[in-house]
Amino acid sequence: MDEANQFMYENKIRHLAVTEEEKVVGVLSVKDLVSYYAKSFRMQE
Protein backbone atom coordinates (compact mmCIF):
# COMPACT_ATOMS: atom_id res chain seq x y z
CA MET A 1 0.00 0.00 0.00
CA ASP A 2 2.84 2.36 0.80
CA GLU A 3 4.38 1.82 -2.62
CA ALA A 4 1.06 2.41 -4.38
CA ASN A 5 0.46 5.53 -2.29
CA GLN A 6 3.89 6.94 -3.15
CA PHE A 7 3.50 6.13 -6.87
CA MET A 8 0.07 7.78 -7.03
CA TYR A 9 1.33 10.86 -5.18
CA GLU A 10 4.44 11.30 -7.32
CA ASN A 11 2.52 10.87 -10.57
CA LYS A 12 -0.52 12.89 -9.44
CA ILE A 13 -3.00 10.14 -10.27
CA ARG A 14 -6.13 9.19 -8.35
CA HIS A 15 -6.67 5.65 -9.67
CA LEU A 16 -4.24 2.79 -10.19
CA ALA A 17 -4.92 -0.45 -12.06
CA VAL A 18 -4.20 -3.62 -10.10
CA THR A 19 -2.87 -6.38 -12.35
CA GLU A 20 -2.20 -10.07 -12.05
CA GLU A 21 -0.37 -11.87 -14.83
CA GLU A 22 -0.75 -8.80 -17.06
CA LYS A 23 -4.54 -8.79 -16.61
CA VAL A 24 -6.40 -5.99 -14.82
CA VAL A 25 -8.11 -7.46 -11.75
CA GLY A 26 -9.08 -4.26 -9.96
CA VAL A 27 -8.61 -0.54 -9.43
CA LEU A 28 -7.12 1.14 -6.37
CA SER A 29 -8.32 4.68 -5.66
CA VAL A 30 -7.24 7.46 -3.35
CA LYS A 31 -10.43 6.78 -1.37
CA ASP A 32 -9.30 3.16 -0.87
CA LEU A 33 -5.95 4.36 0.48
CA VAL A 34 -7.59 6.84 2.86
CA SER A 35 -9.85 4.09 4.18
CA TYR A 36 -6.92 1.69 4.60
CA TYR A 37 -4.76 4.18 6.49
CA ALA A 38 -7.68 5.33 8.66
CA LYS A 39 -8.36 1.74 9.74
CA SER A 40 -4.67 1.17 10.35
CA PHE A 41 -4.48 4.31 12.47
CA ARG A 42 -7.50 3.27 14.59
CA MET A 43 -5.92 -0.13 15.27
CA GLN A 44 -2.86 1.59 16.74
CA GLU A 45 -4.89 3.51 19.33
Diameter of the chain measured on Cα atoms: 39
Among 33, 30, 40, CA closest to 1: 33
Identity of the residue numbered 30? V
pTM here is 0.74
Q: Tens digits of per-residue pLDDT, 13-38?
A: 999 999 999 999 999 999 999 999 98
- The span from the first CA to the last CA of the chain, in angstroms, equals 20
DSSP E strand stretches across 1-45: 15-20, 23-29
Contact 30, 14 (CB under 8 A): yes
